[in-house]
């Protein structure tokens, strides 16, 4: 069964450093998403991406964040200058041909900012 994959599984970085989180969505999916879950809290939407552009973003997704689909398979989330409060689990998700198709999640990347 196709699945969303994410790398790395755990990233440790120093405050102020740039990080890139990588995702490979399900191959025939057209919609891509990033969500964040701070430990012990609920999952929060960051951004959705369709047709090579951002279709929606949340208040959390400020200028420090960017997304890119550099080739036909990868979808990345970049945090330019990490803060302590960026420590969280970051989930990538993808869905099929409509925005309301079921979103399938990757296993997540645990980001720890020191």
Closest CB 22 distance from another protein, rounded Å? 16
Task: List the one residue from 17, 41, 74, 112 that touches another protein (CB under 8 A).
Answer: 41
Closest CB 102 distance from another protein, rounded Å? 6
Closest CB 87 distance from another protein, rounded Å? 14
Examine residue 69 and tell whether it contacts another protein (CB under 8 A).
Answer: no
Sequence-separated (6 or more) residues with CB below 8 Å from residue 69? 32, 49, 52, 75, 76
Examine residue 51 and tell whether it contacts another protein (CB under 8 A).
Answer: no
How many alpha carbons lie under 13 Å from residue 4 in its C-beta half-sphere? 28
Examine residue 96 and tell whether it contacts another protein (CB under 8 A).
Answer: no
Task: List the one residue from 23, 104, 111, 113 that touches another protein (CB under 8 A).
Answer: 104
Q: H-type helices in 53-102, by residue range?
A: none
Tokens of 66: 């960017």
Closest CA to 32 of 56, 20, 9, 48: 48
Examine residue 44 and tell whether it contacts another protein (CB under 8 A).
Answer: yes
Report the distance separating Cα 3 and Cα 13, nearest Å.
27
Closest CB 16 distance from another protein, rounded Å? 26
Examine residue 33 and tell whether it contacts another protein (CB under 8 A).
Answer: yes
């Amino acid at each position: 069964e196709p699945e969303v994959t994410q790398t790395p599984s755990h990233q440790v970085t120093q405050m102020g450093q740039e990080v890139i989180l990588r995702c490979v969505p399900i191959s025939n999916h057209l919609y891509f998403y990033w969500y964040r879950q701070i430990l012990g809290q609920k999952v929060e939407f960051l951004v959705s991406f369709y047709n090579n552009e951002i279709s929606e973003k949340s208040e959390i997704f400020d200028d420090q964040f960017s997304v890119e689909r550099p080739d036909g398979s990868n979808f990345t989330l970049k945090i330019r200058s990490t803060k302590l409060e960026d420590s969280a689990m970051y989930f990538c998700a993808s869905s099929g041909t409509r925005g309301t198709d079921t979103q399938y999640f990757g296993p997540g990347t645990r980001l720890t900012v020191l």
